[in-house]
Amino acid sequence: MTDSPLLQDRRLGRNQMTGLTVLGLETSCDETAAAVVRRSAGGHVEVLASVVASQIAQHAPYGGVVPEIAARSHVEAIDTIAAQAMDEAGLSYAELDGVAATAGPGLVGGVMVGLAFGKAVALARSLPLVAVNHLEGHAVSARLGADVAYPFLLLLVSGGHCQLLEVGGVGACRRLGTTMDDAAGEAFDKIAKTLGLPYPGGPALEKLAIGGDPDRYALPRARLGHKDCDFSFSGLKTAAARIAEGLTTEAERRDLAAAVQAAIARQLRERTARAMDLYAQDHGGEALRFVVAGGVAANSAVRAVLEEAAEAHGFSFTAPPLAYCTDNAAMIALAGAERLALGISDPLDAPARPRWPLDAAAAAANPSHLAGRKGAKS
């Protein structure tokens, strides 16, 4: 028999005085991940364990993630990965204060696996459940390595997402810009595939670009007539693919990789600089903080130009430790702990959501893509 919600709230309230320890679960794409994070009453964060099981070997023959294979792999791995995280943390389930699981957005078959496992743990152990937006996990990921106070300007840049957001606090995000087509990480991966590079393509393209001449090939610049903070990478992707078809030498491939990387980094910097100007207008007199998160934040060339932009506009610069740039469960556990600290939890019938924008109002009022039966995309 499980505790009543009232008893759960009383226990959680007592533990908030000393801190919260949360199990996090992440299964939104092709990593099965579990982590245990402790958040002190003062907001200090300690990662007690973080385990990530990659599916690269399963998807590599197809050159990208196959949703059915991903979901099946999550089913096979989730209980082992969660047990390993608990063992590494040196804790029993009785010592947890809550469980947080990604509830979307993502490949819904995979999302359902982690969320169902989290619900089972919450039900069996009488723990509160937090159904976490995967993007909110990325938004707080920099706080895993540094004490980053709210509010801050966030560039969320990954394989599936590319957005500029004003993050005012837990669940308080205002969209300043988004991609109108492809995400930056998707462009990296698909261009890498046209160059014959192995999956995952982004890191392989970054490696190939070392020593290349970024000025050898002229690539299109998107949305030059627009002065907003929105991105577009589809034209760049198409142009690079056409150039790649005619390359015959390794030097040519290296130069194209360097040109692509420079073009993506330039667009990210330009739009971020515009967002910094807008953010500074609204936050005059306050400390100006800039955070970049997501898998593309691990790219050294991208980090370098964004760090330069932050310095030029008077912003501090923070990026997560490299281990927490790509998908992981520590960021999900932290997002859950921050919500639990505010008394926020979710019912056990919380749905898995393939689409779940951080700024729902902006997504509904000014969608980058037409909403379908799965909801607004971003």
With a pLDDT cut of 90, the percent of the chain lying above it is: 83
170 and 89 inside one domain: no
- Which among 170, 102, 114, 139 is positioned nearest to 333, based on CA atoms? 102
165 and 231 inside one domain: yes
> Is the pLDDT assigned to residue 184 strictly greater than 80?
yes
197 in a structural domain: yes
> Is the pLDDT assigned to residue 18 strictly greater than 80?
no
161 and 89 inside one domain: no
The pLDDT value recorded for residue 269 is 97
Written as one letter, the residue type at 192 is A
> Is the pLDDT assigned to residue 199 strictly greater than 90?
no
> Is the pLDDT assigned to residue 186 strictly greater than 80?
yes
Question: Can you give the CATH number for the domain in which 24 is found?
Answer: 3.30.420.40
18 and 76 inside one domain: yes
pTM strictly above 0.75: yes
Token code pair at residue 265: 């980094």
> Is the pLDDT assigned to residue 291 strictly greater than 70?
yes
248 and 344 inside one domain: no
Backbone angles phi, psi at 363, to 5 degrees: -65, -35
158 and 118 inside one domain: no
Please identify, among 319, 334, 357, the residue that sits at the C-terminal boundary of a domain: 319
Alpha-carbon distance of 232 to 178, in angstroms, equals 9
Q: What is the pLDDT of residues 347-372, one digit of tens each?
A: 999 999 999 999 887 777 666 555 44
101 and 168 inside one domain: no
Written as one letter, the residue type at 164 is L
Q: How many domains does the chain have?
A: 2
3-state secondary structure of 44: coil
Residue span of the structural domain in which 106 resides: 5-143+325-365
205 and 252 inside one domain: yes
312 and 353 inside one domain: no
Contacts of 258 (CB under 8 A, 6+ apart): 209, 211, 212, 213, 214, 216
The pLDDT value recorded for residue 219 is 95
- Range in 2-6, 73-77, 265-269, 278-282 with the lowest mean pLDDT: 2-6
**Averaged pLDDT for residues 300-315:** 97
Q: How distant, in Å, are the alpha carbons of 86, 239, 305 from that of 81? A: 9, 41, 36
Q: What is the pLDDT of residues 142-161, one digit of tens each?
A: 999 999 999 999 999 998 89
